[in-house]
A and B are shown apart, each in its own frame.
Chain A
Amino acid sequence: MSRLISILHKIEDALLVSLLMLMIGLAVFQIVLRNGFDAGMVWADPLVRVLVLWLGLIGAMVASRTDNHISIDIVSKYLCARLKRVTTLLVYLFTTIVCALMTWHSARFVIMEKADGMLAFFSVPIWICELVIPFAFGIITIRYALFFMENLIRIFTPLPLKHS
């Protein structure tokens, strides 16, 4: 299990690095072509825009590894340890459900788009570019489901006694 997770982490990291480098390279190459040779690659602009979406969503996937998303965490500072466990558990449950719904509906969207058969650039269909949405939300759902389980287990194990 933990090997599987570390492989997934490596894949995510490698994707982030290569997609970002591809994005920078393509964008700069376009500028050189346009200013130096009055030429350009028509497919480069839509591809780069799709890369923004991919980078963003994979970045969001990676953020959920450590539950590192932007949030307003004001209340929990003032809660006792026991209550805090409960709120954390509830928050993980809420996040899991919302992300699962999002995965389901974006998967439906991709299936509809596949039926439409529109092209993004070259002969790459749009639905392939959109596939990242259900995929990323699927992974985020799984990660928060695991956080939830972990905390559920912990809540039923007694607090460790403090030895001094």
Chain B
Amino acid sequence: QALTIKIATISPEGSMWMEKMREGASKVARTTDNRVKFKFYPGGVMGNDKAVLRKIRINQLQGGALMSGSLSSFFPGNQIYAQPMKFKSQEEVDYVRRHMDEYIIKGLDDAGFVCFTLMGGGFAYIMSKSPVASIADLKACKIWVPDNDTMTVDSMECFGISPFALPLADVRTGLQSGLIDTVGTSPVGAVVLQWHTEIKYMTNLPLLYLYAVFAIDKKTFNKISPDDQKVVSEIMDRSLKEIDRLNREDNIKAIDALKKQGIKLINPSKEQMDEWLAAAAIASQKMIDDGNLPKNSADKVDALLEQYRKNQ
């Protein structure tokens, strides 16, 4: 019999993410003769990720396209990519992801969420009105963090920074008025949200690797016949991989757009770099100590990175 899977996301209608997800959904419906259908609630109309997870629990929704951090209380291991300044380049991420994505997908599956493939969102960078090269520079800034994001706040505190929490909708006006002068976001994010017209500098130092998951409640997924499950997984995998790929292209384009806008890249010196990395290492350690990150999988990421860097 027919099953409708309701998915909420904060991605706005008309965005590339929504287009690709809808594309996958209609292909699923066609291939399964409407036995499996998706219904989307874009633009955050179902509330933030926390509210969406509550609604998944009571089965009003059966899934969501969520920021990875939102699922960390179900499976802390999904935060291994969210360690500050862990990766120096997209290639490093690619290498580690090739080995570790499976671990995250498996972990989330055990925690009750079927996630298919992960959707990378590129790096967040520090973007600011005055140049930020050192930690001391950053401390002098009024830096924004999303409200409801304790993880980011915690890692900020390791840099000795007390950030300013505002809802996403108020960031642009906050930048315009000078209430805040620094944001951490991906190049695509900066362009899409029109923040790039308000900033002048971008610190050339990958701050955080961002990714999202398309999570379906496992109880619901198990109601689908095994044959159809295979169809859904295959088609959605393909659509989400497409999102992953397009995100990467978009980020490269976005960096060009930022440069065209006249935004200057700030390259920290060797000493400043060491200082950043030392503080970042403390932040990672704190995540482990607080139980927000399993130690053995964090070690595994470190080992993979070492291996990759040796081979370069």
Task: Please list the residues of chain A having a beta carbon within 8 angstroms of any beta carbon in chain B.
Answer: 34, 38-42, 45-46, 112-113, 116, 118
7 CB-based A-B contacts, threshold 8 Å: A38-B139, A38-B140, A38-B162, A42-B150, A42-B153, A112-B57, A118-B73
Given A42-B165, A45-B147, 14 new contacts (CB under 8 A): A38-B140, A38-B142, A39-B162, A40-B162, A40-B163, A40-B164, A42-B150, A42-B157, A42-B162, A45-B165, A46-B147, A46-B148, A112-B58, A118-B73
Q: How far is the CA of A112 from the CA of B140 in the complex (A)?
A: 43
Q: How far is the CA of A138 from the CA of B139 in the complex (A)?
A: 48
Neighbouring B residues of A42 by C-beta, 8 Å: 150, 153, 157, 162, 165
Give the Cβ gap from A42 to chain B, nearest Cβ, in Å: 5
Neighbouring A residues of B57 by C-beta, 8 Å: 112, 116
Give the Cβ gap from A72 to chain B, nearest Cβ, in Å: 27
Q: How far is the CA of A8 from the CA of B163 in the complex (A)?
A: 41
Q: How far is the CA of A9 from the CA of B50 in the complex (A)?
A: 35
B110-140 at interface with A (beta carbon < 8 Å) = 139-140
Give the Cβ gap from B54 to chain A, nearest Cβ, in Å: 8
Give the Cβ gap from B307 to chain A, nearest Cβ, in Å: 37
Q: How far is the CA of A46 from the CA of B164 in the complex (A)?
A: 12
Q: How far is the CA of A16 from the CA of B142 in the complex (A)?
A: 33
Give the Cβ gap from B161 to chain A, nearest Cβ, in Å: 9
Of all chain A residues, which has the CB nearest B50?
A118
Of all chain B residues, which has the CB nearest A42?
B153
Q: How far is the CA of A118 from the CA of B310 in the complex (A)?
A: 41
Of all chain B residues, which has the CB nearest A35?
B142
Q: Which of B148, B153, B162, B165 gathers the greatest number of chain A CB atoms within 10 Å?
A: B162
Q: How far is the CA of A112 from the CA of B164 in the complex (A)?
A: 31
Of all chain B residues, which has the CB nearest A44?
B165
Neighbouring A residues of B164 by C-beta, 8 Å: 34, 40
Q: How far is the CA of A42 from the CA of B143 in the complex (A)?
A: 13
Neighbouring A residues of B162 by C-beta, 8 Å: 38-42
Q: How far is the CA of A118 from the CA of B73 in the complex (A)?
A: 8
B146-179 at interface with A (beta carbon < 8 Å) = 147-148, 150, 153, 157, 162-165
Neighbouring A residues of B142 by C-beta, 8 Å: 34, 38
Q: How far is the CA of A40 from the CA of B73 in the complex (A)?
A: 26
Q: How far is the CA of A47 from the CA of B203 in the complex (A)?
A: 33
Neighbouring A residues of B54 by C-beta, 8 Å: 113
Give the Cβ gap from B252 to chain A, nearest Cβ, in Å: 34
Neighbouring B residues of A118 by C-beta, 8 Å: 50, 73
Of all chain B residues, which has the CB nearest A121?
B150
B251-309 at interface with A (beta carbon < 8 Å) = none
Give the Cβ gap from A117 to chain B, nearest Cβ, in Å: 9
B214-260 at interface with A (beta carbon < 8 Å) = none
Neighbouring B residues of A116 by C-beta, 8 Å: 57
Give the Cβ gap from A82 to chain B, nearest Cβ, in Å: 45
Q: How far is the CA of A38 from the CA of B138 in the complex (A)?
A: 11
Neighbouring A residues of B148 by C-beta, 8 Å: 46
Q: How far is the CA of A64 from the CA of B158 in the complex (A)?
A: 48
Of all chain B residues, which has the CB nearest A49?
B147
Neighbouring B residues of A39 by C-beta, 8 Å: 162
Give the Cβ gap from B75 to chain A, nearest Cβ, in Å: 14
Give the Cβ gap from A38 to chain B, nearest Cβ, in Å: 7
Closest 10 CB pairs of A and B: A40-B162, A42-B153, A45-B165, A39-B162, A118-B73, A45-B147, A112-B57, A34-B164, A42-B162, A40-B164
Of all chain B residues, which has the CB nearest A30?
B164
Q: How far is the CA of A37 from the CA of B266 in the complex (A)?
A: 27
Neighbouring A residues of B153 by C-beta, 8 Å: 42
Neighbouring B residues of A46 by C-beta, 8 Å: 147-148
